[in-house]
Amino acid sequence: MGLRNQLIPLGPKGEESVYYEQKRRSRSRGGRPEVKLLDLFCGMGGWSVGFHREGFDCTGIDVHDVGYPYRLILADLGTWDSASLQEDFDVICASPPCIEFTKTTLPKSWNKGKEVSRPDLTLAKSTLYIVNHFHPKFWVVENVRGAVPYFQDLFGELKKKVGSRYLWGHFPIFDCEATYDKWRLPPNPDRAWLRSKIPYPLSRSLALACRTALKQILEAT
């Protein structure tokens, strides 16, 4: 059975009962129930900034430290052992490197007439494995238009497009105005990281939708 077929969205009962009981106890003590985000390929923390503003405890994983503002785990997600992190997460966001998928949509003249090889899906497959391991309530994978024909078999049908950002996964419905600022960035040593950073309006909108949905699930259990 493939990884995709093993991915089953969690419900509020059964194996989650202990997890939600812990959150109910937090609420009964007068605190705000802790909600947690795991940000894969976190970069500068574009996803995490919006989620942190909505009260999420954020953990990022990436192979480089480029200024992620919260708890950071330095690791190669292509080989990282997810069992080494003994925690539960409500939401997982992932933005695997997009350069190989971007090349598939460029004119041949940009590649000097050479055929572009099939993109390496190793990191995308690792993302799905990690999602399966942690089994969050909500998850989202973001990438570019060129990833669409390759990601469908891994993550299912495309769920949403916001500007030049394409989203797959299992997440609540949300609205967000499209932004295209990444195309206006001047030359800069960090330009690649800045271009890949998730816009704040997108991360905050998704975070608010997830926070609201998680609260409703908690109240219903």
State the average pLDDT over residues 55-73: 95
The whole-angstrom separation of Cα 33 and Cα 20 is: 9
Domain count, the chain: 1
Average pLDDT taken over every residue of the chain: 79
Which residues, 6 or more positions from 132, have their beta carbon under 8 angstroms from its beta carbon? 3, 6, 7
DSSP-assigned letters across all residues of 55-99: TEEEEEEESS-S---SEEEE--TTT--GGG-----SEEEE----H
User: Which phi and psi angles does 139 have, rounded to 5°?
Assistant: -150, 150
Residue with the two structure tokens 């089953």: 8
Which residues, 6 or more positions from 44, have their beta carbon under 8 angstroms from its beta carbon? 66, 67, 68, 193, 194, 197
Look up the CATH number of the domain holding residue 59. Answer: 3.40.50.150
Contact 92, 135 (CB under 8 A): no
Q: What is the reported pTM? A: 0.78
pLDDT digits 0-9 by tens, 134-183: 999 999 999 888 888 888 889 999 999 998 899 999 999 999 987 655 54
Q: How confident is the model at residue 186 (pLDDT cuts 50, 70, 90)?
A: low
Q: Calculate the alpha carbon distances from 154 to 59, 91, 114 in Å.
A: 24, 18, 27
Share of the chain above pLDDT 70, in %: 68
Comparing 193 with 72, which gets the higher pLDDT?
A: 72
Comparing 4 with 83, which gets the higher pLDDT?
A: 83
Full residue range of the structural domain in which residue 7 is found: 3-220
